[in-house]
Amino acid sequence: MENTQTVSKRNIPRDVFLHLLAIVTLYWSSTIFITLLWQFINYFFPGNFNLYYSAGYSLGMIRFAVSSLFVVFPLFIFVSWYLNKIYKRESAVRESKIRKWLLYLTLFVAALVVIGDLVAVINNLLGGETTAKFVLKAFSILLVAGFVFGYYLDDVRREIPSKLGKYFAWVSGGLVFVAIIGSFFIIGSPSSARLVQYDQQKIADLQNIQSQIVNYWQRKDKMPDRLADLNDSISGFVVPTDSQTGASYEYNVKGTLEFELCAVFNKVQEKGSADYSPVYYQFDQSQNWEHGQGRVCFDRTIDEELYILEK
């Protein structure tokens, strides 16, 4: 009778919600932590890398990883702690099929990751790939997946929670804390990121203006005398201004087919630098938009054979 009453009082929707939330936040935290480790490796071991591991690091990915860990990992720790409190009060919850299915699913996924990682390591080693970058990335996957697999394999065998859960929380929390602190040495402060965003917007504006200048020359067979000539009430185009200062961009005609565009930048941005973001340079890969700090001008020459005049 006592067992029947205990089962009847169980809050099944609550149990499903908490166990699913714990597993999802675990997967999310583990994946993001590996992503962050990879970005660290890309940062400290720069250079070309033509295997399936990425070559360069991304400030955007580091920021997203840090943001996710700030929110998702504490949520995982809290949900796990709350579930352990429920286990102590309601032993049937710990033995529920929902929990065991999710735990064995976690073990299955972790095992596949470990196996796949080891296969990739051996395959690439046989192919002659022995760089520190590759080894470290493979080891980071093995470390995280093995850590998760070992803990939950021990947990699923026990009938009652063990003290290992506290050690798991402290060790994983310490690793995440160190990774987050280390990230700020790479991504810098929010104010620095804001300056980078201003610079990236200026590049996007200059690319837009350059395109409009070429279109103007195609239509009228001459260069605009000033940027205001590009304003078009029909198409709705209005020459953008510097979003940081509100000032107009500098434009100078240097010849029949030559002109320059100038802007004042906050930081140095070049390929390989921490602030270089290819996303904002994708509009015209043939042009060089790398720049230094301060006033920088970009010289441009219209290629008559490339841009045929519109008659």
| pLDDT value of position 51 | 41
Question: Mapping DSSP to helix (H, G, I), strand (E, B) and coil, where does residue 304 land?
Answer: coil
Which of 227, 219, 292, 295 is CA-nearest to residue 259? 227
State the pLDDT at residue 144: 86
Say how far apart CA 279 and CA 193 lie, in whole Å: 15
CA torsion 97-99-104-107 (nearest 10°) is: 180
Q: What is the pLDDT along the chain (311 residues), one digit of tens a residue?
A: 444 444 445 677 888 888 889 888 988 998 889 888 888 888 887 755 444 444 456 777 888 889 999 999 999 999 888 888 888 888 787 777 888 888 888 888 888 888 877 787 777 777 766 677 778 888 888 888 888 888 787 777 776 666 777 778 888 888 889 998 988 888 777 787 788 889 989 999 999 999 999 989 888 888 999 999 999 888 888 999 999 999 999 999 988 889 999 999 998 875 545 454 544 444 444 568 888 888 999 999 888 777 665 54
Asked whether the beta carbons of 87 and 94 are under 8 A apart, the reply is yes
Answering whether pTM is above 0.85, one says: no
